[in-house]
């Protein structure tokens, strides 16, 4: 799990105009590097204090934005740990909240929806909204076209409204064996980062891509 993830929101039409997966990957890779060209981009930098966005500067074409999760989330291990912690606490969360979190994080980084015991009998509005993403191209960790973003935003709104209900189960039942998700605030911050990514993509009618870095 020692890999990092670069998350970009992208103008899907602009990206898909490239004629091959290799060329699209090169576009995304170059885009991510282009907004890291400052002193904070060096490998030995101190982590960002909090999440932030990077946008291309004119005269570059504004077809993408890059999200930095900050202290927690630049390593894909953090997302893996958060998914493991969610597995530990979800049985102690109210069914309608559980359904919303399940269906929001599953396509983004969990990968556990097919194993949920309550998949057929889940409760709440979110129980009827599952987001299935196409397979990601090689070397991508996420491939989320614009058509899926609107559903993810509805799920995020349901999760965001119920965050307070997650604190007690998390603090009582989550373990902290490794990684930087060492308390509820870090866990919540990682999910809120994804909420911001989805919200910003929806505003523009864009998709979301996660690259191995």
Helical ranges in 93-183 per DSSP H: 95-105, 146-160, 164-173
| 209: β partners | 8, 143
Q: Which strand (E) or helix (H) includes residue 140? A: strand 140-144
φ and ψ at residue 210, rounded to 5 degrees: -120, 125
pTM of the predicted protein model: 0.89
Q: Give the pLDDT of residue 57.
A: 84
Q: Give residues with Cβ within 8 angstroms of 34, minimum separation 6.
A: 56, 60
User: How does pLDDT run along the chain (213 residues), one tens digit per residue?
Assistant: 468 899 999 999 999 999 998 999 999 999 999 987 554 444 444 555 689 999 998 766 799 999 999 989 989 999 999 999 999 999 999 988 998 999 999 999 998 766 565 555 555 666 667 788 888 888 899 999 999 999 999 999 999 999 999 999 999 999 987 778 999 999 999 999 999 999 999 999 999 999 988
Closest CA to 207 of 102, 126, 134: 134
What residue ranges do the domains of the chain occupy?
Answer: 76-139+150-203
**Cα(161)–Cα(172) distance, integer angstroms:** 21
The two structure tokens encoding residue 49? 């204090």
Helix axis angle for 184-204 and 95-105, nearest 10°, is 60
Count the Cβ atoms, other than its own, within 10 Å of residue 159.
Answer: 23
């Amino acid at each position: 799990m020692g890999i990092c993830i670069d998350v970009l929101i992208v103008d899907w039409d602009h990206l898909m105009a490239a004629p091959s997966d290799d060329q699209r990957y090169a576009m995304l890779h170059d885009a991510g590097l282009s907004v890291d060209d400052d002193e904070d981009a060096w490998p030995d930098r101190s982590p960002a204090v909090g999440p932030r966005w990077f946008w291309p500067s004119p005269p570059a074409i504004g077809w993408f934005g890059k999200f930095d999760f900050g202290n927690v989330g630049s390593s894909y291990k953090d997302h893996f740990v958060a998914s493991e912690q969610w597995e530990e606490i979800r049985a102690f969360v109210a069914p309608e909240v559980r359904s919303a979190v399940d269906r929001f994080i599953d396509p983004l980084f969990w990968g556990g929806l097919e194993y949920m015991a309550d998949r057929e009998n889940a409760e709440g509005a979110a129980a009827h909204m599952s987001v299935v993403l196409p397979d990601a191209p090689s070397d991508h960790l996420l491939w989320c076209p614009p058509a899926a973003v609107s559903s993810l935003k509805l799920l995020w709104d349901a999760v965001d409204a119920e965050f307070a209900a997650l604190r007690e189960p998390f603090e009582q039942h989550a373990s902290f064996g490794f990684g930087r998700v060492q308390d509820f605030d870090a866990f919540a911050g990682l999910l809120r980062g994804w909420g911001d990514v989805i919200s910003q993509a929806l505003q523009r009618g864009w998709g979301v891509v996660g690259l191995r870095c």
